[in-house]
Amino acid sequence: MRVLFIKAADTYPLRLKVLRPGGIEEDVHFANDRLEGAFHLGVSIGGHRICVGSFYPEAHPELSGWKQFRLRGMATHPDFQGQGAGGRSLRFAAEHLKAQHADLLWCNARIKAVPFYQRAGLVIHGEAFEIAGIGTHYVMYRRL
Protein backbone atom coordinates (compact mmCIF):
# COMPACT_ATOMS: atom_id res chain seq x y z
CA MET A 1 0.00 0.00 0.00
CA ARG A 2 1.26 3.44 -0.96
CA VAL A 3 -0.07 6.77 0.29
CA LEU A 4 0.27 9.63 -2.18
CA PHE A 5 -0.85 13.24 -2.52
CA ILE A 6 -3.50 13.40 -5.25
CA LYS A 7 -5.74 15.99 -6.90
CA ALA A 8 -9.23 16.67 -5.57
CA ALA A 9 -10.79 15.28 -8.76
CA ASP A 10 -8.98 11.99 -8.16
CA THR A 11 -11.03 11.51 -4.99
CA TYR A 12 -14.40 11.81 -6.74
CA PRO A 13 -14.88 8.21 -7.98
CA LEU A 14 -14.41 6.67 -4.51
CA ARG A 15 -16.34 9.43 -2.77
CA LEU A 16 -19.24 8.78 -5.13
CA LYS A 17 -19.12 4.99 -4.78
CA VAL A 18 -18.79 4.90 -0.99
CA LEU A 19 -20.26 8.14 0.36
CA ARG A 20 -22.96 9.04 -2.17
CA PRO A 21 -24.02 5.80 -3.90
CA GLY A 22 -26.61 6.53 -6.54
CA GLY A 23 -25.60 10.18 -6.59
CA ILE A 24 -23.98 12.25 -9.30
CA GLU A 25 -20.41 13.52 -9.45
CA GLU A 26 -21.43 17.04 -8.41
CA ASP A 27 -22.53 15.53 -5.07
CA VAL A 28 -18.89 14.86 -4.23
CA HIS A 29 -17.42 18.21 -5.29
CA PHE A 30 -16.83 19.78 -1.88
CA ALA A 31 -16.51 23.55 -1.54
CA ASN A 32 -13.14 23.38 0.23
CA ASP A 33 -11.46 21.01 -2.25
CA ARG A 34 -9.45 23.83 -3.80
CA LEU A 35 -8.93 25.85 -0.62
CA GLU A 36 -5.37 27.04 -0.15
CA GLY A 37 -3.62 24.65 2.22
CA ALA A 38 -6.02 21.77 1.49
CA PHE A 39 -4.57 18.43 0.47
CA HIS A 40 -5.91 15.10 -0.68
CA LEU A 41 -4.50 11.64 -0.10
CA GLY A 42 -4.98 8.41 -1.97
CA VAL A 43 -3.94 4.92 -0.95
CA SER A 44 -3.15 2.58 -3.82
CA ILE A 45 -2.37 -1.08 -4.27
CA GLY A 46 -0.92 -2.18 -7.58
CA GLY A 47 -2.03 0.99 -9.33
CA HIS A 48 -5.60 0.78 -8.02
CA ARG A 49 -6.81 3.57 -5.74
CA ILE A 50 -8.54 1.95 -2.77
CA CYS A 51 -8.86 4.81 -0.26
CA VAL A 52 -9.09 8.61 -0.35
CA GLY A 53 -9.36 11.43 2.14
CA SER A 54 -9.28 15.23 2.01
CA PHE A 55 -7.88 17.60 4.63
CA TYR A 56 -8.82 21.27 4.92
CA PRO A 57 -7.50 24.11 7.07
CA GLU A 58 -10.81 24.68 8.81
CA ALA A 59 -11.52 25.37 12.48
CA HIS A 60 -14.46 23.84 14.30
CA PRO A 61 -16.23 26.54 16.36
CA GLU A 62 -16.54 24.33 19.46
CA LEU A 63 -13.00 22.93 19.52
CA SER A 64 -9.85 24.65 20.70
CA GLY A 65 -6.72 24.68 18.64
CA TRP A 66 -4.85 27.40 16.85
CA LYS A 67 -4.20 25.43 13.62
CA GLN A 68 -7.02 22.98 12.96
CA PHE A 69 -7.63 20.76 9.96
CA ARG A 70 -10.84 19.04 8.96
CA LEU A 71 -10.96 15.58 7.41
CA ARG A 72 -13.72 15.14 4.87
CA GLY A 73 -14.58 12.62 2.18
CA MET A 74 -12.72 9.67 3.71
CA ALA A 75 -13.71 6.65 1.63
CA THR A 76 -12.31 3.14 1.25
CA HIS A 77 -13.47 0.84 -1.52
CA PRO A 78 -15.81 -1.77 0.02
CA ASP A 79 -13.59 -4.64 -1.21
CA PHE A 80 -10.66 -3.25 0.79
CA GLN A 81 -12.30 -2.04 4.00
CA GLY A 82 -10.74 -3.43 7.17
CA GLN A 83 -7.35 -3.98 5.57
CA GLY A 84 -5.53 -0.95 6.97
CA ALA A 85 -5.72 1.55 4.11
CA GLY A 86 -7.73 4.13 6.06
CA GLY A 87 -5.49 3.86 9.10
CA ARG A 88 -2.39 4.21 6.97
CA SER A 89 -3.85 7.31 5.32
CA LEU A 90 -4.67 8.89 8.71
CA ARG A 91 -1.18 8.19 10.08
CA PHE A 92 0.39 9.75 6.98
CA ALA A 93 -1.90 12.78 7.28
CA ALA A 94 -1.14 13.21 11.00
CA GLU A 95 2.61 13.25 10.33
CA HIS A 96 2.16 15.73 7.48
CA LEU A 97 -0.04 17.96 9.64
CA LYS A 98 2.39 17.85 12.57
CA ALA A 99 5.17 18.97 10.22
CA GLN A 100 2.96 21.98 9.38
CA HIS A 101 2.48 22.67 13.10
CA ALA A 102 -1.21 21.80 13.04
CA ASP A 103 -2.53 20.92 16.47
CA LEU A 104 -5.98 19.40 15.84
CA LEU A 105 -7.65 17.13 13.31
CA TRP A 106 -11.45 16.85 13.34
CA CYS A 107 -14.24 15.40 11.24
CA ASN A 108 -17.96 14.75 11.09
CA ALA A 109 -17.98 10.96 11.40
CA ARG A 110 -20.81 8.79 10.18
CA ILE A 111 -22.06 6.62 13.01
CA LYS A 112 -20.84 3.43 11.34
CA ALA A 113 -17.32 4.92 11.03
CA VAL A 114 -17.02 5.94 14.71
CA PRO A 115 -15.18 2.72 15.77
CA PHE A 116 -12.65 3.20 12.94
CA TYR A 117 -11.92 6.77 14.02
CA GLN A 118 -11.70 5.74 17.67
CA ARG A 119 -9.03 3.16 16.76
CA ALA A 120 -7.18 6.02 15.03
CA GLY A 121 -7.20 8.04 18.26
CA LEU A 122 -10.12 10.39 17.63
CA VAL A 123 -12.69 11.03 20.36
CA ILE A 124 -16.32 12.08 20.19
CA HIS A 125 -17.26 15.68 20.93
CA GLY A 126 -20.88 16.45 21.74
CA GLU A 127 -24.12 14.76 20.78
CA ALA A 128 -25.05 12.91 17.61
CA PHE A 129 -26.60 14.98 14.83
CA GLU A 130 -28.25 14.33 11.49
CA ILE A 131 -27.06 15.44 8.07
CA ALA A 132 -30.07 15.39 5.77
CA GLY A 133 -29.96 12.58 3.25
CA ILE A 134 -26.75 11.12 4.70
CA GLY A 135 -27.46 10.07 8.29
CA THR A 136 -26.31 10.28 11.88
CA HIS A 137 -22.88 11.78 12.62
CA TYR A 138 -20.66 12.75 15.53
CA VAL A 139 -17.98 15.41 15.62
CA MET A 140 -14.72 13.61 16.37
CA TYR A 141 -11.26 15.04 16.91
CA ARG A 142 -7.67 14.22 17.76
CA ARG A 143 -4.95 16.43 19.12
CA LEU A 144 -1.78 16.24 17.03
What is the pTM for the complete model shown? 0.94
Domain annotation covers residue 132: no
Tell me what the pLDDT averaged over the chain comes to.
95
pLDDT of residue 17: 94
What is the count of structural domains for the chain? 1
Residue 77 lies in a domain: yes
Burial 101-136 (b: 16+ CB within 10 A, else e): ebebbbbbbbeebbebbeebebeeeeeeeeeeeeee
> Is residue 119 assigned to a domain?
no
Q: What number is the average pLDDT over the span 99-124? A: 96
Q: Is residue 47 domain-resident? A: yes
pLDDT tens track for 65-111: 999 999 999 999 999 999 999 999 999 999 999 999 999 999 999 99
Q: Assign residue 77 the CATH number of its domain.
A: 3.40.630.30
The percent of residues above 90 in pLDDT, for the chain, comes to 92
In a domain, residue 129? The reply is no
pLDDT of residue 87: 95
Nearest to 90 by CA among 3, 1, 29: 3
Closest CA to 77 of 107, 111, 42, 106: 42
Strand arrangement of the beta sheet that strand 68-76 belongs to: 2-6, 39-45, 48-56, 68-76, 104-110, 135-143, 123-131
DSSP-derived letter for residue 20 is S
Q: What is the helix, strand, coil percentage profile of the chain, to 5?
A: 35, 40, 30
In a domain, 137, yes or no: no
Domain that holds residue 47: 2-105
Q: Is residue 28 part of a domain?
A: yes
For residue 86, is it within any domain? yes
